[in-house]
Structure 1
Amino acid sequence: MEFSTLLRGFILDNLAGFSYRNIPIFIFSFLVCAILAYILGQFYIRFGNSLSNRKVFAKNFMVLALTTMFIISVVKTSLALSLGLVGALSIVRFRSAIKEPEELTYLFLTIAIGLGCGAGLTILTILAFVGFITVIWFRSRAAKPLENQNLYLTISNGDGPIPELNQIVQILRSTLLAVKLKRTDETDKLLEASFVVEIEDFDQMEKMRYALKARYPFLNVSFMDTSRDF
């Protein structure tokens, strides 16, 4: 058998169920899928509330959407391939850490974009996407700005005498909006306590710090912001 005959048979087998007339439609859907996933990533960076690095997480949207589109474009032409996909997914486990429900929501939106474009429902996908981002935009505009701020507060005695935890809590409660003890470690020479505190403004934080320093001059005080990164 000649090589040209083998090559022709190989090409025909690979293009079985696929028409050359579908190539422009596939390219159009591919470009639309990439554009929509990019826009969704930008909306997530701008309007997301996740504490993680949203810019890094949003970079996965385009690849995920295009991968989903390609898989749907392949399996929709063959029942055997679709059954094989079910079997393949049953043994594949994705162990990426989803820290917040919002991240899972945006991942579902990304997959939905790939599904719609891969199934050939590009126009419907565009209309649904416009509705999604409109809802996200209005929800972000309607949300009230954060007036108060939550901080992680860590206190330790350093080189000074061991302070009394009850007195520290009383000072915090008298100067801050809310105080919640998260952890405390105590030895013969060291006391370290971690709190989640709520403050109204910077002046309130300074008032609390001065009150602690006045009672325990050698006290070490550190703060960590828990609000979202902009």
Structure 2
Amino acid sequence: MTMDISQFVRGLIIDNLAGFSYRNIPNFIFSFLVCAILAFLLGKMYTKYGHALSNRKVFSRNFVILALTTMFIISVVKTSLALSLGLVGALSIVRFRSAIKEPEELTYLFLTIAIGLGCGAGLTILTIIAFAGFMIVIWFRNRSQKPLDNQNLYFTISNNNGQMPDLNQVVQILRSCVQGVKLKRLDETEDTLEASFVVDVEDYQALEKARSSLKSQYPHLNLTFVDTTRDF
């Protein structure tokens, strides 16, 4: 019995090392470092040029780990059909509880995964070239935006005590205080309401007027203002 166990363990180790070569270690380390650097730079670009309502700086901290994890998985399964099929089976039972509400977040997550895929598949140079192209496109797109867009603020209202605000009245109050109001997202349940707007404010006095007017009408309303022109 002891001999059978030792033979099984030895065979398992040999099978796992069959496709491994020490000559691949320098290439793996190089791809690993490049993957980490590219994901880090992508996070910086997303923090500076992104327009999502969420905290971009905190969200971008996941990029490096996600890219390296993707790279490691691809590096392991690319030489084994059995491992590839096992990965498909494992992913088929994964359930994501937190929905990605912003399309921009999903786009940058795909870019992060693409970096990991390219480096894990050994196409490191091609990944660097493609990444540089994406960064140039993002930079030019940001440069071509109208200066007026930089004056916009994201404004979010939410309630937690069951007092449902009248959305039409909220919009009327905002329009009386700021120059432009555009509804971007609305999440409503049986006893909660969360609405996100893009508002064009001329100065902070207008912002304070809008805050005071809403608080006087709905004292328990939660208000959030996000300046997308700043890194946070």
Q: TM-score, length-normalised on structure 1?
A: 0.70
Give the distance between the partners of 2:24 and 2:62, measured in 1 at CA.
27
Give the distance between the partners of 2:117 and 2:196, measured in 1 at CA.
45
Aligned 8 A contact 2:156 2:224 in 1:
yes
Give the distance between the partners of 2:29 and 2:156, measured in 1 at CA.
54
What is the RMSD computed on CA atoms of the aligned residues?
4.0
* Structure 1 residues 50 and 10: CA distance shift in structure 2, 3 A: same
SS at match of 1:98: coil
1:41 aligns with 2:33: no
- The match for 1:225 is 225
- In the TM superposition, what is the alpha-carbon distance from 1:48 to its structure 2 partner? 1.1
Q: Which of the numbers 127, 134, 137 marks the counterpart of 1:135?
A: 137
Give the distance between the partners of 2:10 and 2:64, measured in 1 at CA.
35
Larger Rg computed on CA atoms: 1
Q: List aligned pairs for 1:149-168, cutoff 5 A.
A: 149-150=152-153, 152=155
* Structure 1 residues 129 and 195: CA distance shift in structure 2, 3 A: closer
Give the distance between the partners of 1:180 and 1:55, measured in 2 at CA.
25
- In the TM superposition, what is the alpha-carbon distance from 1:7 to its structure 2 partner? 7.7
- The match for 2:29 is 27
- Which amino acid is the alignment partner of residue 99 of structure 2? A
- The match for 1:59 is 61
Q: Which of the numbers 86, 94, 98 marks the counterpart of 1:84?
A: 86
- In the TM superposition, what is the alpha-carbon distance from 1:16 to its structure 2 partner? 1.3
- The match for 1:201 is 202
SS at match of 1:115: helix
- The match for 2:122 is 120
- In the TM superposition, what is the alpha-carbon distance from 1:70 to its structure 2 partner? 0.5
- In structure 2, stretches of 5+ residues that fail to align are 158-167, 184-194
Over the matched positions of the two proteins, sequence identity in percent amounts to: 64
Give the distance between the partners of 1:151 and 1:4, measured in 2 at CA.
64
Give the distance between the partners of 2:51 and 2:32, measured in 1 at CA.
29
* Structure 1 residues 4 and 21: CA distance shift in structure 2, 3 A: farther
Aligned 8 A contact 1:147 1:200 in 2:
no
Aligned length: 202
Give the distance between the partners of 2:154 and 2:45, measured in 1 at CA.
27
Give the distance between the partners of 2:202 and 2:64, measured in 1 at CA.
39
* Structure 1 residues 57 and 178: CA distance shift in structure 2, 3 A: closer
Aligned 8 A contact 2:35 2:68 in 1:
yes
Give deviations 1:149-169, integer Å, cap 9, x for gaps.
457598xxxxxxxxxx99x95
Aligned 8 A contact 1:172 1:179 in 2:
yes
- The match for 2:163 is none
